[in-house]
Amino acid sequence: MLSRLLKYFLRQNIFKNRPSSLLCTMSTEPCKPDTAGNPLIGVCQLSCTADKKQNFQKAKSLVEKAVFRGAKMVFLPEAIDYIGETKSQSVEFAESLEGETISGYQDLARKEGIWLSLGGFHQKSDDKQRVLNTHVIIDNQGQIRDTYSKTHLFDLDIKDQVRLCESDYTIPGNKVSFPVKTPAGNVGMEICYDLRFPELSLVLAQQGADILTFPSAFTVTTGMAHWEVLLRSRAIETQCYVVAAAQFGKHNSKRVSYGHSMVIDPWGAVIAQCSDGVDVCFAEINLNMIKKIRDEMPIMRHRRPDLYGFLQSYNKGNIDDTFHYQFGQHSIGCGQVFYKTALSFAFVNIKPVLPGHVLVSSLRPAKRFSDLTSAEVADLSLCVQRVCRAVEAHFKGTSLTIAVQDGPDSGQTVEHVHFHILPRKPADIPNNDDVYRELATHDQDIQAINRRSEEEMNREAAELRHYFL
């Protein structure tokens, strides 16, 4: 059976569809710009110290080389700002998102016209004793697209031998960030120790990730034993590209990192890897290869949630802690969201059938109502009930139309379970059955002249938020 399977994949050219940049590393002389159809990425390896300015200059040099090479996006490792010599220094040097370090990278991205993944910086928090370890994605206009704070913290405490506890000076993150749409594909953000927890990668893959990132500063001992095997495992089980920019070498008298920055394709092959030292390697991201592998080996469809349940993310914190919410093929800005529960969220409509027409959806992007777990069904129903009360009161309705389109033949145009809630008034639609025809057609041709402005939607959402305080 295995030999027949191998012959099948060879006939289907799965292996030949890998990017041409197999084991491509950065030479001392710049290469000519890439002209292939697949987007090119650069993956950097640094050896940061406590000198923030020097670290930035080293990273800037690698980014400039990647831009010359034709990269569309550059990935940088964890601790991109600095690696402190003491715990107190790690906290003392921290900055906010508006600080000098991130502002410098925003200026760099804008100047070079390049997307950047800053794999982790020490973000100042309200806790004076601890910081957040935050991954930041910046677009080619210098705008922050989204952030993710490391959720799994590396704590090693062996009595009378060694104590290395990240939680002593780091606050764990409280949300899973949805994959960010970039020129290289949809990028799912993770950091270092997250690599050992496959559930997070699987959730991001379910949410549409094409690329999983693991910017890291792995120790030499764990790196030699586990680094590559873990990265390849995450790629194989999610059928995503895995991009791992890493710190390398001696940072100070106490700390040394493993390095070996690399890119893994969805088949589990290493297609690019940095040499020792400060370096940048390149790989092409072949989105067609992802689709081909997932079509021919549809492991997501072969899962048995009836036996072991669904994986789902629970984002803690307030609405604005998440910059963008996934709604099928669309991204909903946090300004348009007016209510969020553990498993559901409610948001205003870009093209309402009637004033006050809003949508309620599951946070997990399930396509059909039958795909929801019992917990999601219960949460979604309660969320709909509470939103109904709010919109009926705010828009002075006398009745409500509540509808769900479950599948394309029911008029569903967004492949994500959602409820339509419309506050109704006498004679607002003379023939009441026409409301369902309107729901089936209202968003099929959303032209700029018909859609509401972001400012108008944000204003309505802000008004509705008051009902949930």
| Catalytic hit among 122, 135, 418, 442 | 418
Same domain, 297 and 324: no
State yes or no: 123 annotated in a binding site: no
The residue from 255, 272, 302 where one domain ends is 302
pLDDT of residue 444: 61
Joined together, the tokens standing for residue 225 give 């034993």
349 is in an annotated binding site: yes
Q: Do 436 and 366 fall into the same domain?
A: yes
| Residue 414 known to bind ligand | yes
List the domain range (segments joined by +) for residue 22: 13-302
pLDDT of residue 267: 97
Cα 373 from Cα 233, distance rounded (Å): 27
Q: Are residues 327 and 209 in the same domain?
A: no
CATH (domain of 366):
3.30.428.10
Domain assignment present for 243: yes
Number of domains forming the structure of the chain? 2
Structure confidence by residue, pLDDT tens digits, 220-232: 999 999 999 999 9
Dist CA 293 CA 239 (whole Å):
7
HSE value, Cβ hemisphere, 13 Å, CA-based, for 280: 28
Whether residue 411 is annotated as binding a ligand: the answer is: yes
> Do strands 256-258 and 246-250 pair parallel, antiparallel, or not at all (unpaired)?
antiparallel
For residues 168 and 277, membership in a common domain is answered with yes
Do 194 and 140 lie in one domain? The reply is yes
232 and 100 inside one domain: yes
Structure tokens at 185: 């594909």
Give the separation between CA 241 and CA 287, rounded to whole angstroms.
9
Are residues 279 and 366 located together in one domain of the fold? no
Q: For residue 187, what are the contacts with CB-CB under 8 A and spacing of at least 6?
A: 73, 117, 137, 179, 180, 209, 210, 211, 213
1 occurs within a structural domain: no
Other residues' Cβ atoms within 10 Å of the Cβ of residue 123: 23
Q: What is the CATH number of the domain that holds 199?
A: 3.60.110.10
pLDDT tens digits for the chain (469 residues)?
A: 555 655 555 555 555 544 443 334 334 344 444 445 899 999 999 999 999 999 999 999 999 999 999 999 999 999 999 999 999 999 999 999 999 999 999 999 999 999 999 999 999 999 999 999 999 999 999 999 999 999 999 988 888 877 778 999 999 998 899 899 999 999 999 999 999 999 999 999 988 899 999 999 999 999 999 999 999 999 999 999 999 999 999 999 989 999 999 999 999 999 999 999 999 999 999 999 999 999 999 998 898 887 887 776 766 668 988 889 999 988 999 999 999 988 899 999 999 999 999 999 999 889 999 998 877 898 899 999 999 999 999 999 999 999 998 888 888 889 999 999 999 999 999 998 888 888 877 666 655 556 889 999 999 999 999 998 8
418 catalytic residue (yes or no): yes
Residues 50, 254 contacting (CB under 8 angstroms)? no
Residue 4 covered by a domain: no
98 within some domain? yes
pLDDT of residue 438: 85
Both 280 and 425 in one domain: the answer is no
- Closest residue by Cα to residue 99 from 131, 123, 134: 123
Q: How far apart are CA 194 and CA 346, in angstroms?
A: 30
In this structure, the answer to whether residues 123 and 149 fall within a common structural domain is yes
330 labelled as ligand-binding? yes
Is 45 among the domain residues?
Answer: yes
Nearest to residue 325, comparing CAs of 307, 308, 310, 338?
Answer: 338
Closest of 100, 273, 118 to residue 180, by C-alpha: 118
Task: Show which of 274, 302, 330 is a domain's final residue.
Answer: 302
310 located within any domain: no
- Residues 324 and 259 placed together within one structural domain of the fold: no
Q: How many angstroms separate the Cα of 109 from the Cα of each of 112, 117, 233, 247, 368?
A: 5, 10, 32, 21, 39
261 and 352, same domain (yes or no):
no
- Is residue 242 a part of any domain in this protein? yes
pLDDT in tens, 183-199: 999 999 999 999 999 99
Listed residue (386, 391, 303) closest to 344, CA to CA: 386
* Long-range Cβ pairs for the range 147-151 (8 Å, 24+): 147/97, 147/177, 147/189, 147/323, 148/173, 148/175, 148/176, 148/177, 148/189, 148/190, 148/191, 149/123, 149/173, 149/174, 149/175, 150/120, 150/191, 150/192, 150/193, 150/194, 151/176, 151/194, 151/200
Instruction: In whole angstroms, give the CA distance from residue 232 to residue 238.
Output: 10
Residue 2 lies in a domain: no
- Calpha distance 95→92 (Å, rounded): 9
pLDDT of res. 29: 44
The response to whether 413 counts as a known ligand-binding position is yes
Residue 288, phi then psi, degrees to nearest 5: -65, -35
The answer on 444 and 403 residing in a single domain is: yes
Among residues 253, 275, 302, the one where a domain terminates is 302
Nearest to 81 by CA among 51, 111, 60: 51
